[in-house]
Structures are given as C-alpha cells and as structure tokens.
C-alpha cells in the first residue's frame, strides 16, 4: 500500500484551472522533488494533500486513510504529515523548547518530560542545542527554519512536506537548511519537496516531478529529468530557464549589490543590453514602491524576494516580486505625479503585462518584459 495516493485531483480558483486530474503514488522512503515554473500549481498540489487547499474533486489517501472523504477525521490524518512552509511560523512569544513541545504534548498526549527529551535530541542533531531557551526573534532565518523542521519532526510524521523551504531565506542561510534536509534524506524519511534549487533536487531526490499544463507533465529519476528529459516543456525548462534571486530583509538594503548581481546575470546569459537596463530599472522602481506602500516608515525589517526568470528559448524575461507587509498593489495608485513616477516607468516597459495578487498575507507581482 502506498503511503500517499492521489487520484484525479482537480483544483480551480474561479475560472483559473490550476490542477486537472492529477494522479500520484508515493511509497514509503521516497524523496520526491517537485519542480516547475512559477504558478504551475506545485504549492497548490502540496497544500491540497493536507486540505489546506480544498480540492474541487478527486481523492487523497494518506497511509490508507482518505483525507478527502466526507466524514474524515482531517486533523487525525494531518498528524501523519509534517508541513514546512516558506515562512517559519514559530510562536514568537514562546522560546525554542516551548515551540517544540507544545504540539506533541497537546495533540499526541506525550508527557512533558518525553517531549523535552525528544526536543533536546533533535536540537543536538541539527546543531542548535545551545538555542534551546532562545526566543525566535533572536535567531537567524536559517536557524528559525531548522527549528520549524524540528517542530514538524516532533510529531513523528509519516511524511514531510516542504513548500519551498529556502525561498524566504537570505542566500547565506540557504545552505544550512538544505544540509538539514540532506541529513533527513539519509534517514530514509518520506519527503515531498517543492523547490527551485535544481542542484539540491538532483542530489537529494529519488524521483523528480516536473509540473506544467495543470499537473505532472513529466516525472523520473533525477538523471532522467535533468540529463535526458523527453517532453518539450521539460526540455525547455531544464535547459533554457535561468534564475536570479535576491532577498531583501532590511529597508536599507544594498541596492548596488542587487544591481550588480542583475548585471552579472544578464551578461552571463547574453541578455540584450536594452532589456538588461529595463530589468534593472524595473527592479529598482518596483522595490522602492513596495517599501513605501507595504511597510510603515519606521519599519526597518522587511521581507521582499525578487526573482528574475530568463528563457533562452524565446528570450523573454519575467520579474516576480513577493513581499510581506500590508496589502498594496502599486499599479492601483495614481501615476501622474512625481511621487509615483516609477509606476509610469514600469507600465511603459512591461510589454508582456503585469499581474498582482494578494494571498497568504503576501503581495505577489509578476511583470513580463
């Protein structure tokens, strides 16, 4: 019996069909990497397994129990899965030990003593034993994400679900989280990992799923997907799609470092100089609009992720920005004054269109140049 069985899963948001008749079987001990372009349904699929997104139709079985059944004990079945999000969601008013012990004591009926013993064991394994009494605010992003993974493991799940676990981290902290997941992979834990880290997926996964066209477009071993993809869109994605990611955690971020990174990226892949200039201009103007609209003037700590995707296949560039803070669509403000001159610039150079969305307390902007 498969640990996870998905049958004919469908999910739409209004008229937008995201998943259509998705089928998947996951065996115990498998490590599955889920890759694909932005908006292809990877995260929606993962969240549907726990019913964080409710499927329109189809069935999901977890360890033989149907979580999508009408009278299913959803919370009981969910305990078989540990979910690690892009954000850490640690309880800010509780220290590390209390964050780890709360759920197993409350939900599993574990004694406090036993919970603390397990917490100390996991913290030692991931090199954070000294942080047992630290508050989340005093931890780095990488440390917080490692604590969040430990918290999931405290529930002794049958399977771990990772939804882009490094996307909210400063690049310097990504390695420590990936190293922890590699350590878990060696313990033969069953894992499904949505990721943009292609080298990591190649190294850790036993199977890779490429999502496109509303579902699993192609799947296979890492060697099959990364070295010998068979289908057209997979080939285009693996061989032609290039990424640049820049994370901003402070209002006084290093603009020159970001622009330098974009310049190096565009030179590396031979992007036309005029398009490269528009890309740098759009990135700068958009970030400062977001800083102004999403965050109060006195707020120094921010959460902005800039992602640039370049397709060598058709020389198109897509700029994606994700930001926390207040809901703010910069393209709804008036652009006929000097204050929002950047909006006029963005609208003029965004030849492929602009999309804005606010979900899960995040502003998401897509600009096609």
pTM exceeding 0.75: no
The secondary structure of the chain in percent helix, strand, coil, rounded to multiples of 5, reads 40, 30, 30
CB 159 within 8 A of CB 80: yes
DSSP character at residue 188: T
Q: In angstroms, what is the C-alpha Rg of the chain?
A: 21
Tell me if domain 4-239 and domain 240-368 are identical in fold.
no
CATH 3.40.50.300 fits 4-239, yes or no: yes
CA distance 84 to 157: 12
Strand pairing report for 362-368 and 353-359: antiparallel
CA 12 to CA 214: how far, in whole Å?
A: 10
- Domain ranges (residues) in the chain: 4-239, 240-368
Cα distance between residue 263 and residue 254, in whole Å: 14
Per-residue pLDDT of the chain (369 residues; tens, 9 = 90+): 799 999 999 999 998 999 999 999 999 999 999 999 888 999 999 999 999 999 999 999 999 999 999 999 999 999 999 999 888 889 999 999 999 999 999 999 999 999 999 999 999 998 899 999 999 999 998 899 999 999 999 999 999 999 988 877 776 678 888 888 988 988 889 999 999 888 788 888 999 999 999 999 999 999 999 888 999 889 878 876 677 888 899 999 999 999 999 999 888 888 888 888 888 888 998 899 899 889 998 888 999 999 888 876 567 788 889 999 999 988 886 655 555 566 777 777 666 678 888 887 889 888 887
Token pair, residue 72, equals: 């299913």
Fold category of 240-368 in CATH: Heat Shock Protein 90 (3.30.565)
Q: What angle do CA 49, 50, 53 make, to 5 degrees?
A: 85
């Amino acid at each position: 019996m498969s640990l996870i069985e998905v049958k004919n899963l469908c999910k739409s948001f209004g008229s937008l069909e995201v998943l259509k008749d998705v089928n998947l079987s996951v065996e115990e001990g498998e490590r599955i990497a889920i890759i694909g372009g932005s908006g292809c349904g990877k995260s929606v699929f993962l969240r549907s397994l726990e019913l964080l997104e409710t499927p329109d139709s189809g069935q999901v079985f977890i360890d033989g129990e149907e979580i999508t059944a009408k009278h299913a004990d959803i919370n009981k079945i969910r305990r078989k899965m540990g979910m690690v999000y892009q954000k850490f969601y640690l309880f800010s008013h509780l220290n590390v030990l209390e964050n780890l012990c709360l759920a197993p004591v409350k939900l599993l009926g574990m004694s406090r003593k036993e919970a603390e013993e397990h917490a100390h064991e996991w913290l030692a394994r991931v090199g954070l034993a000294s942080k047992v009494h630290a508050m989340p605010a005093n931890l780095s992003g990488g440390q917080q994400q490692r604590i969040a993974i430990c918290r999931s493991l405290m529930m002794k799940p049958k399977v771990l679900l990772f939804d882009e676990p490094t996307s909210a981290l400063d690049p310097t902290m990504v390695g420590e989280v990936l190293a922890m997941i590699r350590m878990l992979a060696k313990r033969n834990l069953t894992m499904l990992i949505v990721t943009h880290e292609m080298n990591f997926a190649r190294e850790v996964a036993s199977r890779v799923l490429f999502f496109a066209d509303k579902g699993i477009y192609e799947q296979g071993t890492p060697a099959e997907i990364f070295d010998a993809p068979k289908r057209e869109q997979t080939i285009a994605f693996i061989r032609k799609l290039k990424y640049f990611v820049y994370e901003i955690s402070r209002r006084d971020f290093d603009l020159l470092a970001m622009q330098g990174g974009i310049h190096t990226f565009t030179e590396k892949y031979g992007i036309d100089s005029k398009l490269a200039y528009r890309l740098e201009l759009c990135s700068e103007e958009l970030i400062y609009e977001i800083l102004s609209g999403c965050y109060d003037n006195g707020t120094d700590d921010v959460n902005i992720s800039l992602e640039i995707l370049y397709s060598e296949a058709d020389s198109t560039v897509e700029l994606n920005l994700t930001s926390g803070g207040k809901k703010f669509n910069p393209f709804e403000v008036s652009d006929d004054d000097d204050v929002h001159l950047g909006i006029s610039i963005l609208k003029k150079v965004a030849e492929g269109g602009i999309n804005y969305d606010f979900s899960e307390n995040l502003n998401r902007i897509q600009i096609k140049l």
